[in-house]
Structure 1
Amino acid sequence: MSQILDVSGLTFRHSGKKHWLKKPEIFALGPIDMQVMKGETIAIIGQNRSGKSLLAKMLAGAVEPDAGTIRLLERKYWSVKHRNARKKADITGIRMIFQHSSESMNPGISVGQILDEPLRLNSSLSESQRKDLIADTLVKVGLLREHFYFYRHMLSDGQQQRVSLARAILPDPKVLIADEPFAALDPTIRSQTVNLILRLQKEMGLAFVFISHNLGIVRHIADRVIVMDNGQIIESGKTETIFRWPQHEMTKKLVLSYQSLVPQQTLR
Protein backbone atom coordinates (compact mmCIF):
# COMPACT_ATOMS: atom_id res chain seq x y z
CA MET A 1 0.00 0.00 0.00
CA SER A 2 1.17 3.52 -0.76
CA GLN A 3 1.19 6.32 1.80
CA ILE A 4 -1.68 8.76 1.36
CA LEU A 5 -1.55 10.93 4.51
CA ASP A 6 1.50 12.07 6.46
CA VAL A 7 1.16 14.07 9.67
CA SER A 8 4.27 15.60 11.21
CA GLY A 9 4.62 17.59 14.43
CA LEU A 10 0.93 18.51 14.65
CA THR A 11 0.47 20.60 17.80
CA PHE A 12 -2.39 22.43 19.52
CA ARG A 13 -2.36 24.39 22.75
CA HIS A 14 -5.47 25.85 24.36
CA SER A 15 -5.83 27.84 27.56
CA GLY A 16 -9.21 27.79 29.27
CA LYS A 17 -10.90 30.86 30.73
CA LYS A 18 -9.35 32.31 33.85
CA HIS A 19 -11.17 32.01 37.14
CA TRP A 20 -10.28 34.19 40.13
CA LEU A 21 -10.01 31.16 42.41
CA LYS A 22 -7.90 28.93 40.18
CA LYS A 23 -5.44 28.92 37.33
CA PRO A 24 -6.76 28.56 33.77
CA GLU A 25 -6.85 25.04 32.37
CA ILE A 26 -4.30 24.36 29.67
CA PHE A 27 -4.75 21.49 27.23
CA ALA A 28 -1.85 20.70 24.95
CA LEU A 29 -2.02 18.17 22.12
CA GLY A 30 1.00 16.81 20.36
CA PRO A 31 3.31 16.91 18.71
CA ILE A 32 1.54 14.19 16.72
CA ASP A 33 3.24 12.14 14.01
CA MET A 34 1.24 9.56 12.05
CA GLN A 35 0.96 8.06 8.59
CA VAL A 36 -2.05 6.58 6.80
CA MET A 37 -1.85 4.26 3.83
CA LYS A 38 -4.23 4.03 0.87
CA GLY A 39 -7.22 1.82 1.68
CA GLU A 40 -6.21 1.54 5.34
CA THR A 41 -8.55 1.85 8.30
CA ILE A 42 -7.11 3.42 11.45
CA ALA A 43 -9.00 3.65 14.74
CA ILE A 44 -8.09 6.25 17.34
CA ILE A 45 -9.13 5.27 20.85
CA GLY A 46 -8.70 6.70 24.34
CA GLN A 47 -10.62 7.98 27.32
CA ASN A 48 -12.61 11.21 27.33
CA ARG A 49 -10.46 14.35 26.99
CA SER A 50 -7.54 12.34 25.62
CA GLY A 51 -7.42 14.57 22.53
CA LYS A 52 -8.65 12.06 19.96
CA SER A 53 -11.66 14.13 18.80
CA LEU A 54 -9.51 17.25 18.59
CA LEU A 55 -7.00 15.39 16.44
CA ALA A 56 -9.80 14.26 14.11
CA LYS A 57 -11.02 17.84 13.74
CA MET A 58 -7.53 19.07 12.95
CA LEU A 59 -7.05 16.37 10.31
CA ALA A 60 -10.37 17.35 8.73
CA GLY A 61 -9.55 21.06 8.78
CA ALA A 62 -12.27 22.00 11.29
CA VAL A 63 -9.70 23.16 13.87
CA GLU A 64 -6.46 24.91 12.99
CA PRO A 65 -3.31 23.52 14.65
CA ASP A 66 -0.68 25.80 16.13
CA ALA A 67 2.17 23.98 14.43
CA GLY A 68 2.92 21.01 12.23
CA THR A 69 2.36 19.79 8.70
CA ILE A 70 -0.26 17.60 7.01
CA ARG A 71 0.67 16.14 3.64
CA LEU A 72 -1.89 14.51 1.37
CA LEU A 73 -0.43 12.37 -1.43
CA GLU A 74 2.96 13.98 -0.70
CA ARG A 75 1.53 17.47 -1.33
CA LYS A 76 1.38 19.94 1.55
CA TYR A 77 -2.27 20.00 2.61
CA TRP A 78 -1.76 22.25 5.62
CA SER A 79 1.03 24.02 7.49
CA VAL A 80 1.26 27.20 9.54
CA LYS A 81 3.42 28.83 6.88
CA HIS A 82 0.96 28.02 4.09
CA ARG A 83 -2.33 28.17 6.04
CA ASN A 84 -4.00 30.38 3.40
CA ALA A 85 -2.59 28.63 0.35
CA ARG A 86 -4.75 25.51 0.14
CA LYS A 87 -6.41 24.90 -3.22
CA LYS A 88 -10.01 23.76 -3.59
CA ALA A 89 -8.86 20.37 -4.84
CA ASP A 90 -6.77 19.91 -1.69
CA ILE A 91 -9.63 20.91 0.64
CA THR A 92 -11.89 18.18 -0.75
CA GLY A 93 -9.18 15.53 -0.33
CA ILE A 94 -10.05 14.95 3.33
CA ARG A 95 -13.72 14.80 4.28
CA MET A 96 -15.57 14.30 7.57
CA ILE A 97 -18.56 12.14 8.48
CA PHE A 98 -20.64 13.64 11.28
CA GLN A 99 -21.81 11.64 14.29
CA HIS A 100 -25.25 13.27 14.54
CA SER A 101 -26.25 13.41 10.90
CA SER A 102 -29.54 15.20 11.61
CA GLU A 103 -27.68 18.16 13.14
CA SER A 104 -25.61 18.56 9.98
CA MET A 105 -28.65 18.64 7.68
CA ASN A 106 -30.56 21.87 7.06
CA PRO A 107 -34.26 20.96 7.55
CA GLY A 108 -35.35 23.73 5.20
CA ILE A 109 -33.71 22.40 2.02
CA SER A 110 -33.90 19.09 0.18
CA VAL A 111 -31.32 16.33 0.19
CA GLY A 112 -30.40 17.27 -3.37
CA GLN A 113 -29.67 20.86 -2.36
CA ILE A 114 -27.62 19.71 0.63
CA LEU A 115 -25.50 17.46 -1.56
CA ASP A 116 -25.19 19.99 -4.34
CA GLU A 117 -23.40 22.58 -2.19
CA PRO A 118 -19.94 20.89 -1.94
CA LEU A 119 -19.99 20.17 -5.68
CA ARG A 120 -21.09 23.67 -6.61
CA LEU A 121 -18.34 25.21 -4.50
CA ASN A 122 -15.52 22.80 -5.32
CA SER A 123 -16.08 21.61 -8.89
CA SER A 124 -16.63 22.96 -12.38
CA LEU A 125 -19.49 20.55 -13.14
CA SER A 126 -22.65 21.90 -14.75
CA GLU A 127 -25.97 21.77 -12.90
CA SER A 128 -27.14 18.71 -14.85
CA GLN A 129 -23.83 16.93 -14.30
CA ARG A 130 -24.00 17.62 -10.57
CA LYS A 131 -27.57 16.31 -10.40
CA ASP A 132 -26.61 13.07 -12.18
CA LEU A 133 -23.60 12.57 -9.90
CA ILE A 134 -25.72 13.18 -6.78
CA ALA A 135 -28.34 10.67 -7.94
CA ASP A 136 -25.65 8.05 -8.65
CA THR A 137 -24.07 8.68 -5.24
CA LEU A 138 -27.40 8.27 -3.46
CA VAL A 139 -27.71 4.84 -5.06
CA LYS A 140 -24.11 4.05 -4.11
CA VAL A 141 -24.87 4.61 -0.41
CA GLY A 142 -28.03 2.50 -0.53
CA LEU A 143 -30.68 5.16 -1.10
CA LEU A 144 -32.98 5.86 -4.05
CA ARG A 145 -32.56 8.51 -6.72
CA GLU A 146 -35.90 9.89 -5.56
CA HIS A 147 -34.38 10.76 -2.19
CA PHE A 148 -32.92 13.76 -4.03
CA TYR A 149 -36.27 15.51 -3.37
CA PHE A 150 -36.71 14.42 0.26
CA TYR A 151 -36.30 16.62 3.33
CA ARG A 152 -34.71 15.71 6.65
CA HIS A 153 -37.98 14.98 8.45
CA MET A 154 -38.88 12.44 5.77
CA LEU A 155 -35.80 10.30 6.46
CA SER A 156 -35.04 7.71 9.13
CA ASP A 157 -31.89 7.98 11.28
CA GLY A 158 -30.16 5.41 9.10
CA GLN A 159 -31.11 7.24 5.91
CA GLN A 160 -29.85 10.53 7.35
CA GLN A 161 -26.52 8.87 8.11
CA ARG A 162 -26.34 7.65 4.51
CA VAL A 163 -26.96 11.18 3.26
CA SER A 164 -24.09 12.35 5.49
CA LEU A 165 -21.89 9.65 3.98
CA ALA A 166 -22.96 10.62 0.45
CA ARG A 167 -22.00 14.24 1.14
CA ALA A 168 -18.58 13.11 2.37
CA ILE A 169 -17.73 10.98 -0.68
CA LEU A 170 -19.22 13.23 -3.38
CA PRO A 171 -16.05 15.26 -4.04
CA ASP A 172 -14.11 11.97 -4.45
CA PRO A 173 -11.92 12.36 -1.33
CA LYS A 174 -8.86 10.29 -0.49
CA VAL A 175 -9.41 10.18 3.29
CA LEU A 176 -12.56 9.99 5.41
CA ILE A 177 -12.42 11.21 9.01
CA ALA A 178 -15.20 10.24 11.41
CA ASP A 179 -15.74 10.95 15.11
CA GLU A 180 -17.98 8.27 16.64
CA PRO A 181 -19.89 7.75 13.36
CA PHE A 182 -21.83 4.74 14.71
CA ALA A 183 -22.62 5.84 18.27
CA ALA A 184 -26.03 7.36 17.54
CA LEU A 185 -27.30 4.37 15.52
CA ASP A 186 -29.20 1.34 16.78
CA PRO A 187 -27.32 -2.01 16.43
CA THR A 188 -29.00 -3.09 13.17
CA ILE A 189 -28.44 0.23 11.40
CA ARG A 190 -24.92 0.38 12.87
CA SER A 191 -24.03 -2.98 11.33
CA GLN A 192 -25.43 -1.93 7.94
CA THR A 193 -23.49 1.36 8.05
CA VAL A 194 -20.22 -0.37 8.96
CA ASN A 195 -20.59 -2.80 6.06
CA LEU A 196 -21.50 0.05 3.69
CA ILE A 197 -18.39 2.04 4.64
CA LEU A 198 -16.19 -1.05 4.20
CA ARG A 199 -17.67 -1.65 0.74
CA LEU A 200 -17.21 1.97 -0.34
CA GLN A 201 -13.68 1.96 1.04
CA LYS A 202 -12.81 -1.05 -1.10
CA GLU A 203 -14.49 0.35 -4.21
CA MET A 204 -12.97 3.83 -3.92
CA GLY A 205 -9.61 3.02 -2.33
CA LEU A 206 -10.40 5.31 0.59
CA ALA A 207 -8.40 5.61 3.78
CA PHE A 208 -10.65 5.73 6.85
CA VAL A 209 -9.65 7.30 10.18
CA PHE A 210 -12.27 7.01 12.89
CA ILE A 211 -12.72 7.72 16.58
CA SER A 212 -14.67 5.15 18.55
CA HIS A 213 -15.37 3.97 22.09
CA ASN A 214 -16.81 0.74 20.67
CA LEU A 215 -13.78 -1.54 20.71
CA GLY A 216 -15.84 -4.36 19.18
CA ILE A 217 -16.20 -2.32 15.98
CA VAL A 218 -12.57 -1.22 16.24
CA ARG A 219 -11.38 -4.82 16.38
CA HIS A 220 -13.68 -5.78 13.51
CA ILE A 221 -12.74 -3.13 10.94
CA ALA A 222 -9.46 -1.41 11.91
CA ASP A 223 -6.12 -2.37 10.39
CA ARG A 224 -4.22 -0.33 12.96
CA VAL A 225 -5.05 1.28 16.30
CA ILE A 226 -3.70 4.51 17.77
CA VAL A 227 -4.15 4.98 21.53
CA MET A 228 -4.19 8.52 22.92
CA ASP A 229 -3.99 9.88 26.44
CA ASN A 230 -3.54 13.46 27.66
CA GLY A 231 -2.96 14.79 24.14
CA GLN A 232 -0.27 12.26 23.24
CA ILE A 233 -0.06 9.06 21.23
CA ILE A 234 0.96 6.54 23.87
CA GLU A 235 0.78 3.37 21.78
CA SER A 236 0.06 2.29 18.22
CA GLY A 237 0.21 -0.89 16.20
CA LYS A 238 -1.70 -3.54 14.30
CA THR A 239 -5.14 -4.12 15.73
CA GLU A 240 -4.66 -7.71 16.91
CA THR A 241 -1.30 -6.84 18.45
CA ILE A 242 -2.87 -4.02 20.47
CA PHE A 243 -5.75 -6.22 21.64
CA ARG A 244 -3.65 -9.30 22.48
CA TRP A 245 -0.48 -7.69 23.80
CA PRO A 246 -1.16 -4.12 24.99
CA GLN A 247 1.94 -2.47 26.45
CA HIS A 248 0.90 0.84 28.01
CA GLU A 249 -1.14 0.80 31.22
CA MET A 250 -3.89 2.93 29.65
CA THR A 251 -4.14 0.56 26.69
CA LYS A 252 -4.37 -2.41 29.04
CA LYS A 253 -7.17 -0.65 30.93
CA LEU A 254 -9.15 -0.02 27.73
CA VAL A 255 -8.68 -3.58 26.44
CA LEU A 256 -9.56 -5.19 29.78
CA SER A 257 -12.71 -3.07 29.95
CA TYR A 258 -13.67 -4.33 26.48
CA GLN A 259 -12.87 -7.95 27.35
CA SER A 260 -15.11 -7.80 30.40
CA LEU A 261 -18.09 -7.05 28.16
CA VAL A 262 -17.69 -9.88 25.62
CA PRO A 263 -17.79 -13.69 25.90
CA GLN A 264 -14.26 -14.95 26.48
CA GLN A 265 -14.45 -17.55 23.71
CA THR A 266 -14.59 -14.75 21.12
CA LEU A 267 -11.16 -13.53 22.25
CA ARG A 268 -9.30 -16.74 21.45
Structure 2
Amino acid sequence: MSQVLSVNGLTFRHSSKKRWLKKPEVFSLGPIDMQVIKGETIAIIGQNRSGKSLLAKMLAGAVEPDEGQIQLQEERYWSVKHRVARKKADITGIRMIFQHNSESINPGIPVGQILDEPLRLNSTLSESERKTLIGDTLVKVGLLREHIYFYRHMLSDGQQQRVSLAKAILPNPKVLIADEPFAALDPTIRSQTVNLILKLQKEMGLAFIFISHNLGIVRHIADRVIVMDKGQIIESGKTETIFRWPQHEMTKKLVLSYQSLIPQQTLRDPE
Protein backbone atom coordinates (compact mmCIF):
# COMPACT_ATOMS: atom_id res chain seq x y z
CA MET A 1 0.00 0.00 0.00
CA SER A 2 1.31 3.44 -0.93
CA GLN A 3 0.35 6.68 0.75
CA VAL A 4 -0.90 9.35 -1.65
CA LEU A 5 -1.99 12.11 0.74
CA SER A 6 -0.66 13.20 4.10
CA VAL A 7 -2.20 15.97 6.23
CA ASN A 8 -0.39 17.32 9.27
CA GLY A 9 -1.58 19.96 11.73
CA LEU A 10 -4.13 21.48 9.34
CA THR A 11 -5.86 24.35 11.13
CA PHE A 12 -8.45 26.98 10.23
CA ARG A 13 -9.76 29.82 12.41
CA HIS A 14 -12.67 32.10 11.61
CA SER A 15 -14.35 34.88 13.58
CA SER A 16 -17.54 36.51 12.32
CA LYS A 17 -18.27 40.16 13.01
CA LYS A 18 -20.13 41.06 16.16
CA ARG A 19 -23.83 41.72 15.58
CA TRP A 20 -26.29 43.73 17.64
CA LEU A 21 -26.60 42.20 21.12
CA LYS A 22 -24.73 39.11 19.94
CA LYS A 23 -21.19 37.98 20.56
CA PRO A 24 -19.03 37.30 17.49
CA GLU A 25 -19.12 33.67 16.43
CA VAL A 26 -15.80 31.88 16.44
CA PHE A 27 -15.26 28.63 14.56
CA SER A 28 -11.96 26.79 14.55
CA LEU A 29 -11.03 23.57 12.82
CA GLY A 30 -8.15 21.33 13.69
CA PRO A 31 -5.41 20.61 14.06
CA ILE A 32 -6.21 17.78 11.64
CA ASP A 33 -3.86 14.86 10.94
CA MET A 34 -4.78 12.18 8.42
CA GLN A 35 -3.24 9.89 5.82
CA VAL A 36 -4.84 8.53 2.66
CA ILE A 37 -3.75 5.32 0.93
CA LYS A 38 -3.93 4.73 -2.84
CA GLY A 39 -7.22 3.11 -3.85
CA GLU A 40 -8.99 3.49 -0.50
CA THR A 41 -12.28 5.21 0.27
CA ILE A 42 -12.58 7.43 3.32
CA ALA A 43 -15.91 8.80 4.52
CA ILE A 44 -16.06 11.90 6.72
CA ILE A 45 -19.25 12.10 8.78
CA GLY A 46 -20.65 14.35 11.47
CA GLN A 47 -23.51 16.68 12.27
CA ASN A 48 -24.03 20.04 10.57
CA ARG A 49 -21.30 22.60 11.35
CA SER A 50 -18.92 19.87 12.45
CA GLY A 51 -16.32 21.11 9.96
CA LYS A 52 -16.37 18.22 7.51
CA SER A 53 -17.22 20.31 4.42
CA LEU A 54 -14.63 22.92 5.39
CA LEU A 55 -11.99 20.20 5.66
CA ALA A 56 -12.92 18.93 2.19
CA LYS A 57 -12.55 22.42 0.73
CA MET A 58 -9.14 22.86 2.33
CA LEU A 59 -7.95 19.51 1.00
CA ALA A 60 -9.13 20.52 -2.49
CA GLY A 61 -7.43 23.91 -2.28
CA ALA A 62 -10.68 25.92 -2.30
CA VAL A 63 -10.04 27.33 1.21
CA GLU A 64 -6.63 28.30 2.53
CA PRO A 65 -5.76 26.94 5.99
CA ASP A 66 -4.10 29.07 8.67
CA GLU A 67 -1.59 26.41 9.67
CA GLY A 68 -0.43 22.96 8.68
CA GLN A 69 0.75 21.02 5.68
CA ILE A 70 -0.85 18.96 2.91
CA GLN A 71 1.49 16.63 1.06
CA LEU A 72 0.51 14.82 -2.14
CA GLN A 73 2.77 11.77 -2.40
CA GLU A 74 6.34 13.13 -2.25
CA GLU A 75 5.40 16.66 -3.31
CA ARG A 76 4.41 19.30 -0.76
CA TYR A 77 0.98 20.44 -1.94
CA TRP A 78 0.46 23.15 0.65
CA SER A 79 2.46 24.44 3.59
CA VAL A 80 1.65 27.58 5.54
CA LYS A 81 5.12 27.71 7.03
CA HIS A 82 6.89 27.76 3.68
CA ARG A 83 4.06 29.23 1.55
CA VAL A 84 4.81 26.70 -1.14
CA ALA A 85 3.36 27.54 -4.56
CA ARG A 86 1.26 24.71 -5.95
CA LYS A 87 2.43 23.27 -9.24
CA LYS A 88 0.04 22.31 -12.03
CA ALA A 89 0.69 18.65 -11.27
CA ASP A 90 -0.31 19.23 -7.66
CA ILE A 91 -3.44 21.19 -8.56
CA THR A 92 -4.72 18.43 -10.84
CA GLY A 93 -3.67 15.73 -8.38
CA ILE A 94 -6.63 16.45 -6.12
CA ARG A 95 -10.03 17.03 -7.75
CA MET A 96 -13.47 17.76 -6.30
CA ILE A 97 -16.99 16.64 -7.26
CA PHE A 98 -19.75 19.03 -6.24
CA GLN A 99 -23.15 18.20 -4.77
CA HIS A 100 -25.23 20.23 -7.24
CA ASN A 101 -24.00 19.24 -10.68
CA SER A 102 -26.02 21.87 -12.53
CA GLU A 103 -24.13 24.63 -10.70
CA SER A 104 -20.79 23.34 -11.97
CA ILE A 105 -21.94 23.07 -15.61
CA ASN A 106 -22.19 26.34 -17.56
CA PRO A 107 -25.57 26.27 -19.38
CA GLY A 108 -24.22 28.28 -22.32
CA ILE A 109 -21.24 26.03 -23.11
CA PRO A 110 -21.35 22.52 -24.62
CA VAL A 111 -19.99 19.58 -22.63
CA GLY A 112 -16.93 19.21 -24.84
CA GLN A 113 -15.81 22.78 -24.20
CA ILE A 114 -16.43 22.43 -20.45
CA LEU A 115 -14.24 19.33 -20.31
CA ASP A 116 -11.59 20.83 -22.58
CA GLU A 117 -10.85 23.82 -20.36
CA PRO A 118 -8.98 22.04 -17.51
CA LEU A 119 -6.95 20.07 -20.05
CA ARG A 120 -6.10 23.17 -22.07
CA LEU A 121 -4.93 25.00 -18.95
CA ASN A 122 -3.12 22.14 -17.20
CA SER A 123 -1.65 19.96 -19.94
CA THR A 124 0.51 20.13 -23.04
CA LEU A 125 -1.85 17.98 -25.15
CA SER A 126 -2.76 19.14 -28.64
CA GLU A 127 -6.35 19.97 -29.56
CA SER A 128 -6.86 16.61 -31.31
CA GLU A 129 -5.31 14.72 -28.38
CA ARG A 130 -7.58 16.55 -25.94
CA LYS A 131 -10.67 15.74 -28.04
CA THR A 132 -9.76 12.05 -28.14
CA LEU A 133 -9.15 11.96 -24.38
CA ILE A 134 -12.45 13.74 -23.69
CA GLY A 135 -14.35 11.24 -25.83
CA ASP A 136 -12.65 8.29 -24.12
CA THR A 137 -13.46 9.75 -20.69
CA LEU A 138 -17.13 10.28 -21.55
CA VAL A 139 -17.35 6.62 -22.56
CA LYS A 140 -15.57 5.65 -19.35
CA VAL A 141 -18.29 7.34 -17.25
CA GLY A 142 -21.10 5.76 -19.25
CA LEU A 143 -21.89 8.52 -21.74
CA LEU A 144 -21.46 8.76 -25.52
CA ARG A 145 -18.74 10.58 -27.44
CA GLU A 146 -21.54 12.60 -29.05
CA HIS A 147 -22.34 14.15 -25.67
CA ILE A 148 -19.54 16.68 -26.31
CA TYR A 149 -22.14 18.62 -28.34
CA PHE A 150 -24.81 18.58 -25.60
CA TYR A 151 -25.73 21.54 -23.38
CA ARG A 152 -26.80 21.29 -19.75
CA HIS A 153 -30.55 21.49 -20.47
CA MET A 154 -30.21 18.48 -22.77
CA LEU A 155 -28.85 16.26 -19.97
CA SER A 156 -30.72 14.35 -17.26
CA ASP A 157 -29.66 14.64 -13.62
CA GLY A 158 -27.76 11.37 -13.89
CA GLN A 159 -25.99 12.51 -17.06
CA GLN A 160 -25.03 15.80 -15.42
CA GLN A 161 -23.53 13.81 -12.55
CA ARG A 162 -21.49 11.79 -15.05
CA VAL A 163 -20.25 14.95 -16.80
CA SER A 164 -19.09 16.31 -13.43
CA LEU A 165 -17.33 13.03 -12.75
CA ALA A 166 -15.70 13.09 -16.18
CA LYS A 167 -14.44 16.63 -15.52
CA ALA A 168 -12.96 15.51 -12.21
CA ILE A 169 -11.08 12.48 -13.56
CA LEU A 170 -9.85 14.00 -16.85
CA PRO A 171 -6.51 15.26 -15.47
CA ASN A 172 -5.91 11.75 -14.06
CA PRO A 173 -5.93 12.79 -10.38
CA LYS A 174 -4.68 10.75 -7.45
CA VAL A 175 -7.44 11.84 -5.05
CA LEU A 176 -11.13 12.58 -5.60
CA ILE A 177 -12.99 14.62 -2.97
CA ALA A 178 -16.79 14.85 -2.95
CA ASP A 179 -19.12 16.76 -0.63
CA GLU A 180 -22.52 15.02 -0.45
CA PRO A 181 -22.23 13.83 -4.09
CA PHE A 182 -25.34 11.61 -3.92
CA ALA A 183 -27.74 13.77 -1.92
CA ALA A 184 -29.57 15.32 -4.88
CA LEU A 185 -30.00 12.06 -6.81
CA ASP A 186 -32.98 9.70 -6.75
CA PRO A 187 -32.28 6.16 -5.43
CA THR A 188 -31.85 4.50 -8.83
CA ILE A 189 -29.41 7.10 -10.17
CA ARG A 190 -27.66 7.14 -6.81
CA SER A 191 -27.05 3.40 -6.97
CA GLN A 192 -25.70 3.69 -10.51
CA THR A 193 -23.39 6.55 -9.54
CA VAL A 194 -22.03 4.71 -6.51
CA ASN A 195 -21.24 1.64 -8.61
CA LEU A 196 -19.64 3.80 -11.32
CA ILE A 197 -17.35 5.53 -8.83
CA LEU A 198 -16.31 2.19 -7.34
CA LYS A 199 -15.55 0.90 -10.85
CA LEU A 200 -13.46 3.96 -11.77
CA GLN A 201 -11.68 3.82 -8.45
CA LYS A 202 -10.60 0.24 -9.08
CA GLU A 203 -9.54 0.95 -12.68
CA MET A 204 -7.62 4.14 -11.92
CA GLY A 205 -6.33 3.41 -8.41
CA LEU A 206 -8.00 6.55 -7.09
CA ALA A 207 -8.29 7.46 -3.45
CA PHE A 208 -11.81 8.73 -2.71
CA ILE A 209 -12.71 11.04 0.17
CA PHE A 210 -16.38 11.86 0.54
CA ILE A 211 -18.57 13.78 2.94
CA SER A 212 -21.98 12.25 3.62
CA HIS A 213 -24.92 12.23 6.00
CA ASN A 214 -26.07 8.97 4.43
CA LEU A 215 -24.52 6.32 6.63
CA GLY A 216 -26.00 3.55 4.50
CA ILE A 217 -23.80 4.57 1.57
CA VAL A 218 -20.89 5.17 3.94
CA ARG A 219 -21.14 1.60 5.21
CA HIS A 220 -21.53 0.28 1.67
CA ILE A 221 -18.44 1.85 0.09
CA ALA A 222 -16.07 3.27 2.73
CA ASP A 223 -12.92 1.47 3.90
CA ARG A 224 -12.41 3.91 6.76
CA VAL A 225 -14.59 6.45 8.54
CA ILE A 226 -13.57 9.74 10.13
CA VAL A 227 -16.06 11.28 12.58
CA MET A 228 -15.92 15.03 13.16
CA ASP A 229 -17.53 17.27 15.77
CA LYS A 230 -16.92 20.97 16.45
CA GLY A 231 -13.97 21.11 14.10
CA GLN A 232 -12.17 18.11 15.57
CA ILE A 233 -11.70 14.48 14.58
CA ILE A 234 -13.27 12.68 17.52
CA GLU A 235 -13.03 9.12 16.20
CA SER A 236 -11.69 7.23 13.19
CA GLY A 237 -11.20 3.64 12.16
CA LYS A 238 -12.25 0.86 9.82
CA THR A 239 -15.86 1.18 8.73
CA GLU A 240 -17.22 -1.98 10.34
CA THR A 241 -15.38 -1.22 13.59
CA ILE A 242 -16.99 2.23 13.74
CA PHE A 243 -20.47 0.85 13.02
CA ARG A 244 -20.24 -2.13 15.36
CA TRP A 245 -18.28 -0.65 18.26
CA PRO A 246 -18.54 3.17 18.25
CA GLN A 247 -16.67 4.71 21.16
CA HIS A 248 -17.47 8.42 21.23
CA GLU A 249 -20.95 9.54 22.28
CA MET A 250 -21.44 11.52 19.06
CA THR A 251 -20.48 8.49 16.96
CA LYS A 252 -22.94 6.34 18.92
CA LYS A 253 -25.66 8.91 18.26
CA LEU A 254 -24.99 8.92 14.52
CA VAL A 255 -24.87 5.12 14.27
CA LEU A 256 -28.07 4.66 16.31
CA SER A 257 -29.84 7.18 14.08
CA TYR A 258 -28.77 5.19 11.01
CA GLN A 259 -29.82 1.86 12.53
CA SER A 260 -33.31 3.20 13.24
CA LEU A 261 -33.79 3.78 9.50
CA ILE A 262 -32.56 0.40 8.22
CA PRO A 263 -36.05 -1.25 7.98
CA GLN A 264 -37.18 1.57 5.65
CA GLN A 265 -34.50 0.89 3.04
CA THR A 266 -35.32 -0.78 -0.27
CA LEU A 267 -33.38 -3.66 -1.75
CA ARG A 268 -32.40 -1.63 -4.80
CA ASP A 269 -30.95 1.25 -2.81
CA PRO A 270 -27.41 0.66 -1.39
CA GLU A 271 -28.37 2.81 1.58
Q: Normalised by the size of structure 1, how large is the TM-score? A: 0.97
- Provide the rounded CA distance (Å) in 1 between the counterparts of 2:191 and 2:248: 30
Is residue 2:63 matched to residue 1:63? Answer: yes
The Cα of 1:20 is off from its aligned counterpart by: 3.0
The Cα of 1:18 is off from its aligned counterpart by: 1.3
The Cα of 1:85 is off from its aligned counterpart by: 1.3
Deviations 1:9-46 (A, max 9, x none): 00000001211312100000000000000000000000
The answer to whether the 8 Å contact 2:67/2:81 transfers is no
Match of 1:213 in 2: 213
The Cα of 1:84 is off from its aligned counterpart by: 5.2
- Provide the rounded CA distance (Å) in 2 between the counterparts of 1:257 and 1:81: 41
Is residue 2:133 matched to residue 1:116? Answer: no
Is residue 2:8 matched to residue 1:8? Answer: yes
The Cα of 1:54 is off from its aligned counterpart by: 0.2
Deviations 1:150-195 (A, max 9, x none): 0000000000000000000000000000000000000000000000
Q: Normalised by the size of structure 2, how large is the TM-score? A: 0.96
Secondary structure of 1:39's partner? coil
Match of 1:245 in 2: 245
Distance 1:144 1:151, change over 3 A: same
The answer to whether the 8 Å contact 1:51/1:228 transfers is yes
Q: Percent identity of the aligned residues?
A: 89
Match of 1:36 in 2: 36
Unmatched 5+ stretches in structure 2: none
Size of the alignment, in residue pairs? 265
Deviations 1:240-261 (A, max 9, x none): 0000000000000000000000
- Provide the rounded CA distance (Å) in 1 between the counterparts of 2:24 and 2:125: 49
Deviations 1:100-136 (A, max 9, x none): 0001110000000000010000000011100000000
The answer to whether the 8 Å contact 1:41/1:224 transfers is yes
The Cα of 1:81 is off from its aligned counterpart by: 3.4
Runs of 4+ in 1 over 2 A off after TM superposition: 81-84
Residue identity matched to 2:176: L
Alignment of 1:165-204 (within 5 A): 165-204=165-204
- Provide the rounded CA distance (Å) in 2 between the counterparts of 1:178 and 1:155: 21
- Provide the rounded CA distance (Å) in 2 between the counterparts of 1:17 and 1:142: 47
Secondary structure of 2:262's partner? coil
Match of 2:20 in 1: 20
Unmatched 5+ stretches in structure 1: none
- Provide the rounded CA distance (Å) in 2 between the counterparts of 1:87 and 1:258: 41
The answer to whether the 8 Å contact 1:68/1:80 transfers is yes
Residue identity matched to 2:52: K
Secondary structure of 1:108's partner? coil
The answer to whether the 8 Å contact 1:6/1:74 transfers is no
- Provide the rounded CA distance (Å) in 1 between the counterparts of 2:9 and 2:149: 45
Distance 1:156 1:82, change over 3 A: farther
The answer to whether the 8 Å contact 2:3/2:73 transfers is yes
The Cα of 1:72 is off from its aligned counterpart by: 0.5
Deviations 1:218-256 (A, max 9, x none): 000000000000000000000000000000000000000
Is residue 2:121 matched to residue 1:126? Answer: no
Secondary structure of 1:209's partner? strand
Residue identity matched to 1:24: P
